[in-house]
Amino acid sequence: MADIKNTNSSPKNQDYQTRGFRRATGLLAAMVLFTLFAQNLHEGTSNFWVSTLVPVALIVSYPILFFKPLKRIVDTPYFATLSLLCIAVGTALGTFVSQNAPAEVFTNRYGESGSSVLRFLQWDDVFHSWWYVGFFTLLAGSLLKTSWKKKFNRENLGFHLAHLSPIIILLGFWVDYFYGFRGIIQLETGQSTNIAKVYQGNTSYVGDSIAIPFRIRLDHFEFEKHDPDYRLQVWRNTEAEPHAQPAADAHGQQITGTPKIIASMPLKEAKIRHIYGTDIYFRLNEFFPNFTFEYTYPEINDNVEAKDPGVLLNMKTPFGQADVNLFSNRPGRNTIADEQHMGGWLEFYWEIPEALAQAINGQPETEWAKVNRIILVGTEKQIYLWVDGKLSKEPLEAGKFYPFPNRKEIGFTMKYLYPDAAYLLSTPVSDGEELLNPVAKVEVWHKGGHSEEAFLYPGGRRGGVFTIEGTDYFLALESFKDMETKYYRSELSVLDENDEVAKSQSIVVNEPMLYGGYRFYQSDYNPDNPNYSGIGISHEPGLYVIYFGFTVLVIGCLMMFYGKYRKQDSPV
Amino acid sequence: MLESLYYTSTLFKVTFFLYALALAGYVVGIFRKEKVFGTIPYALFTIAFLACTVLIADRWIEAGRPPFKSFYESLVFAAWTTSLISLAVEYKFKVRLIGFMSAIGVVMIFLFALTKRDVEIIALPPALQTWMFIPHVISYFLAYGALFVAGLTAVLFLALPKGIASHHTLGEQSRIDFSATTYQITKFGFLFLTAGLLLGAWWGQNAWSNYWGWDPKENWALITWLIFAAYLHFRNIPSWSEKRLAWVVVFGVAAIVFTYLGMDYLPTAQDSLHVYSGD
């Protein structure tokens, strides 16, 4: 390419140029027609002669027909430029219609007749169509001829590199097209295989299977999400969709419509925030990474009337510890009847229950005696154990650990035994700094109005949010970050024909394993199956040729545009 | 949009304000030929560019990763490269009008970025957790910035085919030919467009075992490359007027805008790996 813009436009020259343009267009159009007929014949019939020889004859006759003009046309600037534009248009066409889709998907999308027309034009697979490849072939011819005509010297080095490198890239590409493949190996931990499913064309539609000369074993797979990052969020309910299911917040208020997040703030205590367009302000008063209540019972005389007696127990299970209150006079709140997990029931009564009294007298109800029970009696400060049909009792001591019948790892410690829960003080605290049960205590107020306190906790629309009365806004405590994948990694082993490990490597996205001319990529996982890993496989013999072409192209352009020895740009 | 502006960082607001101020300065400069009315907006544009640099650096630190992931982040970066190229071009060719038009472009990019504001910073998915991400994006946005400015000079050529005299110039300059300027900038942009395309292919091979996946975004990146390659070759066709050449550049910029913003409208986009997250 010359850097000087030629402005010769005499009528004679114009005429020559017009002819040059017509010839180039004619040549390219004829190529499209020839290849379209050839490819449709090739694909459309099973007759060997018709499907192979006629297309070959068509393809061969095309350049012969144009032999002389071809030689003259391909190195004209018109031809090179038009070829570039034709490839651009062809590529654009390929983005307007689904490519390589399975037949039924394609017909569904474009209808019977629509898809036949598209198929005839090879529009269902533009990038492998003969006409599309034809453009590249002609462009390659044009590049070769143009370069050939230009003198090989230091001044033109950039020009030659820039114009020959696309041919190198195309060669690498074609080598890969004919001798390479891409696919996927789906394995679970411990499994090994030498079979890969091959991708159809350049899509992820799976086609045939292929065997590789060694086996790949998945030794280990791991997958991690990002750490949670809880933030205070302002959401707004937009117009309700006609069929949206109403949900309720923690206070039973209905939330309708599709909520939209408006703002998200880091958990900075005491900083006053404002909701735009309103007179509403709020601030975070306290954040509890692992929210729990700390209970205290005042040291008062035992002569307090037993209005709402209860017991505060610290329950210990393999999953952790928690404070639990049982209230004698509140039905449903005086028993933990989880025999399956705890091996028995835990019950609290302030006065001795009748059924127990009968059992002590040796006449237990059969139904009642079926289950292992731990019965705490407040007035007596006694604990009755009913295990395997036998009754025992011992005094209840604060601070002593009582395991469940036959379950050493589950049990309870009594903290307080009290005649009236009204005197029980509960203070929200955080049990450690680990993010186990995050809760945010916020304060919300209208400008100049009274403030309201609310506890926010994660869990989406079904609770834990705070709806600001009289507005569409609600506050939430959520983390989005931990919904995203941080990494996934497979440890692979290559097994040779004797089942011996030839290579072991761990792969992550962007760090594939190379073995025997094949590359293995971390490309898929299944959040529901922690043992599954999708290993992408590719075999691309032309890859380094392509990389070489890339480098030469950039160097060539650089030399041509800014090189020391190039012809200097002249002003027009 | 005002609501979005309300929740953005102070740094964003300051940067946006400085760009708007630079634009106002350039508007005044159109009506006043004194040198100082060229120097002041140029200085303001430079300060706004520096503020934008801080904005990007701050985001990089806060996110703990290169800030090129979301649509919003990429728009801010596009504004940054456009102002960088514009400042360099205005300095080299001493034309105030380039700064004026770029400032309009940058302010519009910022307004658009506001509508695409990130409520939260998103983490990088595994495929983007690689250093190869950085040169690929930087090459492309330098190319986009340069070609956008080239598109502006091409428009200036179409509007002022005879060029302009010193009235609109910063410093000593007799006459400016916008066609030649367009060519100089396009060459630079094309070089980075090539580098970006090839770096992308190389990275694609590492991340998805595929240097070329005929993904719509890849295809459109190839199409823009081909259009600008065609521009460089059209220059060798004597009968192609400079006016037509300028139109090719404008058309190429339109293709860039479509590649950048229009992928969602393609029926093949659902298979794309390149569509920006965040709407």
Per-residue H/E/C for B171-207: CCCCCECHHHHHHHHHHHHHHHHHHHHHHHHHHHHHH
B64 touches chain A (CB under 8 A): no
pLDDT at residue A163 greater than cutoff 90? yes
Residues of B in contact with A91 (CB under 8 A): 219-220, 222-223, 226
Q: Is A15 exposed, middle or buried (0-12, 13-18, 19+ CB in 10 A)?
A: exposed
Report the pLDDT value the prediction gives residue A1, as an integer from 0 to 100.
Answer: 40
Q: How far is A112 from chain B (nearest CA, A)?
A: 18
Contacts (Cβ under 8 Å, ≥6 apart) of A9:
B238, B239
Distance, in angstroms, between A554 CA and closest chain B CA?
Answer: 6
Residue A568, pLDDT > 60, answer: no
Q: Residues in chain B with pLDDT < 50?
A: 277-279
pLDDT tens sequence across A486-496: 889 999 999 99
Q: Do B223 and A99 touch (CB under 8 A)?
A: no
How far is the alpha carbon of B127 from chain A, nearest alpha carbon, in Å? 6
**Is A289 a residue whose pLDDT tops 90?**
yes
- A544 CB neighbours in chain B (<8 A) are none
Chain centroid offset of residue A480 CA: 13
Q: ipTM score here?
A: 0.91
**B279–chain A Cβ distance below 8 A for any pair:** no
A72-76, A139-143, A519-523, B232-236: which range is least confident on average? Answer: A72-76
For residue A460, the model assigns a pLDDT of 59
Instruction: Measure B273 CA to nearest chain A CA, in Å.
Output: 12
Beta strands in A479-528 (DSSP E): 485-495, 501-508, 513-515, 518-526
pLDDT score recorded for residue B22: 97
- How many Å apart are CA A397 and CA A411, to the nearest integer? 14
Q: Check if B213 contacts A (Cβ < 8 Å).
A: yes
Q: Which residue has the higher pLDDT, A515 or B267?
A: A515
Any A CB within 8 A of B115 CB: no
Ramachandran sector of residue A4 (left: φ over 0; alpha: ψ -120 to 50; beta: rest) = beta
DSSP character at residue A2: -
* Residues A294, A312 contacting (CB under 8 angstroms): no
A131 or B267, greater pLDDT: A131
- pLDDT tens digits, one per residue of A47-80: 777 778 877 887 777 777 666 777 777 778 888 8
User: Residue A571 has what pLDDT?
Assistant: 38
**Quick one: three-class SS letters along B148-181?**
HHHHHHHHHHHHCCCCECHHHECCCCCCECHHHH
Spatial separation of the C-alpha atoms in residues A122 and B177, rounded to whole Å:
46
Are β-strands A373-377 and A344-349 bridged in parallel, bridged antiparallel, or unpaired?
parallel
Fold of A181-225+484-539: Tick-borne Encephalitis virus Glycoprotein; domain 1 (2.60.98)
The answer on pLDDT for A133 being more than 50 is: yes
Q: Is B201 on the interface with A (CB under 8 A)?
A: yes
Average pLDDT over residues A131-147: 90
The pLDDT score that the predictor gives to residue A201 is 65
Q: Tell me what the mean pLDDT of segment A444-455 comes to.
A: 91
Q: What is the pLDDT of residue A570?
A: 42
pLDDT tops 80 at residue A337: yes
* CB contact (8 A) between residue B209 and residue A510: no
Interchain contact, A480 vs B223, CB within 8 Å: no
Is pLDDT at A370 greater than 60 in this prediction?
A: yes
Domain ranges of chain A: 11-149, 181-225+484-539, 231-290+432-483, 292-429
Q: Highest mean pLDDT: which of A118-127, A333-342, A364-373? A: A118-127
User: Mean pLDDT across chain A, nearest whole number?
Assistant: 85
Q: Is B190 on the interface with A (CB under 8 A)?
A: yes
CB contact burial A17-39 (16+ within 10 A = b; e otherwise): beebbebbeebbeebbebbbebb
> Please, are residues A97 and A110 in contact by the beta-carbon 8 Å criterion?
yes
Between the two ends of chain A, the Cα-to-Cα distance in Å is 15
Chain A contact set for B122 (CB, 8 A): 480, 484
Integer Cα distance of A366 and A364 in angstroms: 6
More confident residue, A7 or A530: A530
Measured between beta carbons, the chain B residues lying within 8 angstroms of A263 are 7, 119
Whether residues A561 and B125 touch (CB distance < 8 A) is answered with no
CB contact under 8 A, A231 and B219: no
Helix, strand, coil share of chain B (percent; to 5): 75, 0, 25
Predicted pLDDT at B276: 54
pLDDT at residue A240, rounded to an integer? 56
User: How many other C-beta atoms lie within 10 A of the C-beta of residue A379?
Assistant: 14
Search chain A and give the residue with CA nearest B241. Answer: A7
Å between B255 CA and nearest CA of chain A: 10
Read off the pLDDT of each residue in A329-353 and give the average, rounded to a whole number.
87
The pLDDT assigned to A239 comes to: 66
- The alpha-carbon gap from B133 to the nearest alpha carbon of chain A, in Å, equals 11
State what percent of residues in chain A have pLDDT above 70. Answer: 89
Q: Is B92 on the interface with A (CB under 8 A)?
A: no
**Per-residue pLDDT at A24:** 86
Pairing mode of beta strands A485-495, A466-467: unpaired
Candidates B201, B209, B233; nearest CB to A519: B209
pLDDT in tens, A234-287: 999 886 554 444 455 444 455 556 888 999 999 999 999 999 989 999 999 999
Residue linked to tokens 């019950």: A347
Closest by Cβ to A95, choosing from B203, B208, B268: B268
Higher per-residue confidence, A289 vs B213: A289
Provide, as residue numbers in chain A, all residues whose Cβ is less than 8 Å from the Cβ of B207.
509-510, 521
